[in-house]
Structure 1
Amino acid sequence: MKIGILGVGHIGKTLTQRLSMAGHDVKVANSRGPDTIGTDVLASGANAVTAAEAVVDVDALIISIPMNRLPQIAPLIVDLPAETVVIDTSNYYPHRDGRIESIEAGQVESLWVAEQLGRPVAKAWNSIGSDSFANKHKPAGSPDRIALPVAADRESDRRVAMALVEDTGFDAFDAGALAESWRQQPGAPCYTTDLIREELPAALAAADAKRSPKRRDLAIAAIQERIGDATTNPDAEYGVRLCRALFM
């Protein structure tokens, strides 16, 4: 599959490495230009390109950038074919993204993303911490393989996104429509808690839309106290333990 990736941050880097290792034709871009993308990101065969080049002639486009930058890339994808699958990995963090009033008023984050981009999207890879994503992938069939929820309104989008999640070393779980994707966002029981497939249905069902933002902010405060920087992701051992205590 031809895949474009926008963003080479904590998640985008691992996506680039893992999907190219799985045999996909991957090209990746960041906001600073292809010359700034490290050789480690490209070691499995991906190609560094400009953002404009990353969206051309691809079957799937994965967007892995902070939510506050999503409106800026909308012009890049305005001519993307309708059948191209756009997958969003973002999460809303007010301390980083600024206050987005419609989300604060209750709009589902993924629906806000689709609105900004002007097209349907799938939501995937947003529910796992970067350390777990980089280091806890397992072969298909492993009994302790972490499962990741995938939401989308179009069945074709969900099917492609789930297949790609499997290719990155995790079980893909059909989480239904985007309107329900708030159940996999920060503060929810399945968010960065490294659950297996059998545990996901109960965790998704237990999500509480009113409590999730408060729990999200508690986790950020705890990370800031421990690390001193809310933009630095914690290691899996601490992050998973913290989120299980706060979110489940």
Structure 2
Amino acid sequence: MTTVGIIGAGNIGTALAQAFSGLGYDVVIANSRGPETLRDLVDDLGPSVRAASAPEAAAAGDIAVVTVPLKAIGDLPAAPLAGKIVLDTNNYYVERDGHIAPLDRGETTTSEMVQRRLADAKVVKAFNHIMASQINTDGSPAGAPDRRALGTASDHEDAIALVTEIYDRLGFDTVSLGPLSESWRLERDRPTYVVRQTAGELRDAAARANRLP
């Protein structure tokens, strides 16, 4: 049985815990306040979901999800994530994270920052440009003409392949944008962000995105 370690129990983390448990995975979820604060959540989600500390969730997961504010990535437990595929849901919100000059200048991306923090992991962008409430409701069968697509990017082909499989099982097509350096095309204030698009529409939107305002 594959176990998913989820670090971050906000809206996205909670929705993904429900999604992964629904797909038959075991889930270990953590937040910054301690596992005892997640008792009601895990009770609601069922026996395949349990709460732990962030290092414990990282160690338990065969794969992991990082869904914490960008300003908190320095606290991520790097050692237990080494060698693992890590799905990164991050976006850059100045009002929350403060100004980060390399991002403001277009010199890096949020996922590249996570990859530098988790140097020995395989970071892949995922689930960052869909509203949490739609993760478990917006999917449709493969081949549906209006099937929604979600984007991804990674420097690791096996990570892209895994996200593609997960998206498909949840009812979404996949558009890969290539390396992490292109992941900005999926983030806030771009035409791909929280818009329901087919694969063709998402590719077109990503291609016309501007890196800087």
- The reply to whether TM is greater than 0.5 is yes
The higher-RCO structure (CA 8 Å, 6+ apart) is 2
Counterparts of 1:200 and 1:210 in 2: how far apart (Å)? 19
Q: Which among 71, 85, 89 is matched to residue 74 of structure 2?
A: 71
Q: Which among 145, 159, 162 is matched to residue 160 of structure 1?
A: 162
Counterpart of 1:32 in structure 2 is: 33
Q: Structure 1 residues 81 and 118, CA, compared in 2 at 3 Å: closer, same or farther?
A: closer
CA RMSD after TM alignment:
1.8
Supply the AA of the counterpart residue of 2:8. G
Supply the AA of the counterpart residue of 1:13. T
Counterparts of 1:12 and 1:117 in 2: how far apart (Å)? 19
Report whether the alignment pairs 1:100 with 2:100: yes
Question: Which piece of structure 1 moves more, 192-201 or 141-150?
Answer: 141-150
SS of residue paired to 2:150:
strand
Supply the AA of the counterpart residue of 1:166. D
Q: Which string of whole-angstrom CA distances, capped at 9 and with x for unpartnered residues, describes residues 75-115 of structure 1?
A: x2224342x10110010001001111221222222212212
Runs of 4 or more consecutive aligned structure 1 residues displaced over 4 Å after TM superposition: none
CA contact (8 A) 1:14 1:133 kept: yes
Counterpart of 1:219 in structure 2 is: none
- Compute the displacement of 1:128 (Å): 0.9
SS of residue paired to 2:135:
helix
Counterparts of 2:190 and 2:23 in 1: how far apart (Å)? 30
Counterpart of 1:42 in structure 2 is: 45
- Compute the displacement of 1:10 (Å): 1.1
Supply the AA of the counterpart residue of 1:14. A
Q: Structure 1 residues 167 and 32, CA, compared in 2 at 3 Å: closer, same or farther?
A: farther
Counterparts of 1:22 and 1:134 in 2: how far apart (Å)? 11
Counterparts of 1:20 and 1:130 in 2: how far apart (Å)? 16
Counterparts of 1:187 and 1:195 in 2: how far apart (Å)? 15
Counterpart of 1:195 in structure 2 is: 197
Question: Which piece of structure 1 moves more, 50-59 or 60-69?
Answer: 50-59
Report whether the alignment pairs 1:56 with 2:59: yes
Counterparts of 1:165 and 1:40 in 2: how far apart (Å)? 26
Supply the AA of the counterpart residue of 2:73. L
- Compute the displacement of 1:118 (Å): 2.4
Supply the AA of the counterpart residue of 1:52. P
SS of residue paired to 2:75:
helix
CA contact (8 A) 1:70 1:117 kept: no
When the two structures are superposed, what TM-score results if normalisation uses the length of structure 1?
0.78
Counterpart of 1:3 in structure 2 is: 4
How many correspondences in the alignment?
208
When the two structures are superposed, what TM-score results if normalisation uses the length of structure 2?
0.90
Supply the AA of the counterpart residue of 2:3. K
Gaps of 5+ in 1: 212-248
Counterparts of 2:80 and 2:16 in 1: how far apart (Å)? 24
Gaps of 5+ in 2: none
CA contact (8 A) 1:21 1:44 kept: no
CA contact (8 A) 1:26 1:45 kept: yes
